[in-house]
Amino acid sequence: MQIAKGVEWTTHICTVIALLPPGRGLAVDVLADFFEVPSAYLSKQMQLLRRAGVVESVRGKSGGYRLAKTPDDITLLDIVLAIEGPKPAFRCTEIRQNGPCGLKRTDCKRPCEIAAAFAEAERVYRDALKVKTLASIMQEAAVNAKPEHLNDIGNWVQQQLP
Amino acid sequence: MQIAKGVEWTTHICTVIALLPPGRGLAVDVLADFFEVPSAYLSKQMQLLRRAGVVESVRGKSGGYRLAKTPDDITLLDIVLAIEGPKPAFRCTEIRQNGPCGLKRTDCKRPCEIAAAFAEAERVYRDALKVKTLASIMQEAAVNAKPEHLNDIGNWVQQQLP
DNA sequence: GCCACGATACTCGGATATAAATTGTCCGAGTTTATTAGG
DNA sequence: CCTAATAAACTCGGACAATTTATATCCGAGTATCGTGGC
């Protein structure tokens, strides 16, 4: 059970493109260099975020990616669901219906207690990610980071704009 | 991000071998038939549970698997950790240390806010699985199931004992 | 000087390989049990 | 009849494939920009 690397990468990247002036974007190659990750694969992950409505893309010479919503409206759960897909991690295959003592389909109206327990655990997991917005993450980071580092990032972003 | 099927299988199986008389066990082949799952692969998963101290194995003619602890002392988290391993699902690769604005190692004493958020989410996830003991699952199932079905399972278990 | 057109450079986007993890299988190591021969 | 050695049957256990998923890559589709020629 491992979360795709794209979740880590794209989350970090969202905190960077959130600093862009309105209407501007940054290219995948540039963002990939910023974190030293493979750009082609990152491109694939950013497409997933775009389809989920987290970011927007602009083609052409001075195009790139930018946030599709305000950092307040983007949660870590949004990013995880965009990359990993919506289906839960625990797969109930209804094996209680199998074998010599298998239940009939009609007697399986309620989910089995094991599946219910895992569903509940995933619910609280998702809730924990839902309350973490991109804005809150950035705020925490701003509080903990050295001011000079924040400046470095801000300046770097400015430099990338043509 | 998917949980191995072995988690579902072995959890169901634990609820069955919990019904055994003290000191008795059931063979993998028998348990595999009960849920119609591949026995050789199930064997692999049961070995993981044994190494984690959830079940005990007895070799030889009338051997098999039985619980190593009381159902009160076995949680769903124990089973998940036994099958999936102890490492968290979210992998922080410290990409904040990469690239032109990368932080120095010495400035990364605290975990980054993104990794911290995912760690917190996994903590509540594990806590939710930790409070679900095998005993509590079996109790819920006993309440919801038809009495005849419980009898069927009990009788089947008895029949398997030589 | 200004505008329209075309070429160009740059970007995303999906189709395509490679690596890794999960899933599934097989046969040998180790025990218990039943059998059998001897006392 | 009882005991003990022996053989057999049955079980787990780890080493060995096949399949799916995740990771990584490449090249074509599309668009804004820049250059150029004409008006």
Question: Mind listing the pLDDT tens digit of every residue in chain B (162 residues)?
Answer: 899 999 999 999 999 999 999 989 999 999 999 999 999 999 999 999 999 999 999 988 888 999 999 999 999 999 999 999 999 999 999 999 999 999 999 999 999 999 999 999 999 999 999 999 999 999 999 999 999 999 999 999 999 986
CB B66 within 8 A of CB B17: yes
Pick from B8, B36, B124: which is nearest to A114 by CB? B8
Q: Could you report how far apart the first and last alpha carbons of chain B are, in Å? A: 42
pLDDT of A155 strictly over 90: yes
Find and list the nucleotides of strand C having atoms within 7 Å of a protein beta carbon. Answer: 9-15, 21-27, 29-34
Give the integer Cα–Cα distance in Å for A100 and A97: 9
Using an 8 Å CB-CB cutoff, list chain B residues near A146: 107
pLDDT class for A25, splitting at 50, 70, 90? Answer: very high
Q: For residue A162, is pLDDT > 80?
A: no
pLDDT of B80: 97
Q: Do B2 and B132 meet the contact criterion of CB atoms below 8 Å apart?
A: no
Q: Tell me the residue ranges of DSSP E strands in A39-97.
A: 55-58, 64-67
Q: Which residue of B has its CA nearest to A112?
A: B141
pLDDT for the residue numbered A1: 82
- Across the range A79-99, mean pLDDT stands at 96
What does each C-alpha distance from A155 to A90, A140, A152, A158, B107 come to in angstroms?
44, 20, 5, 5, 20
Who among residues 18-47 of B has its Cβ near strand D, under 7 Å? Answer: 25, 27-30, 40, 43-44, 46-47
**Identity at B37, one-letter amino acid code:** V
Judge if the beta carbon of B62 is closer than 7 A to nucleic acid strand C. Answer: yes
CA atoms within 13 A on the CB side of B160: 27
Model pLDDT, residue B62:
84
From residue A99, give the alpha-carbon distance in Å to each of B5, B6, B32, B34. Answer: 17, 17, 9, 5
First to last CA, chain A: 42
Asked if B101's CB is within 8 angstroms of A118's CB, the reply is: no
For residue B93, which residues of chain A lie inside 8 Å, CB to CB?
5, 8
pLDDT attached to residue A103: 94
Smallest CA–C1' distance to D31, residue: A60
pLDDT attached to residue B21: 92
The CA-based dihedral angle spanning residues B2, B6, B12, B17, taken in that order and rounded to the nearest 10 degrees: -160
- Between the CA of residue B69 and those of A16, A108, B78, what are the distances in Å? 50, 30, 11
Overall size of chain A counted in residues: 162
Q: Taking CB atoms and an 8 Å limit, are A3 and B153 in contact across chains?
A: no
Residue A161 — pLDDT band, cuts 50, 70, 90? Answer: confident
Burial code (b: 16+ CB inside 10 Å, e: under 16) for B10-26 equals bbbbbbbbbebeeebbb
- Mean pLDDT, chain A, whole residue set: 95
Domains and CATH numbers, chain A: 5-160 (1.10.10.10)
| Nearest residue, CB atoms, B125 vs list A76, A101, A121 | A121
* pLDDT of A61: 87
Nearest chain B residue to A5 by CA distance is B91
Res B60: pLDDT: 86
Residue A62: the pLDDT is 86
Q: Is strand D less than 7 A from the beta carbon of A125?
A: no
pLDDT given at position A89: 96
* Residue A154 CB neighbours (<10 A): 12
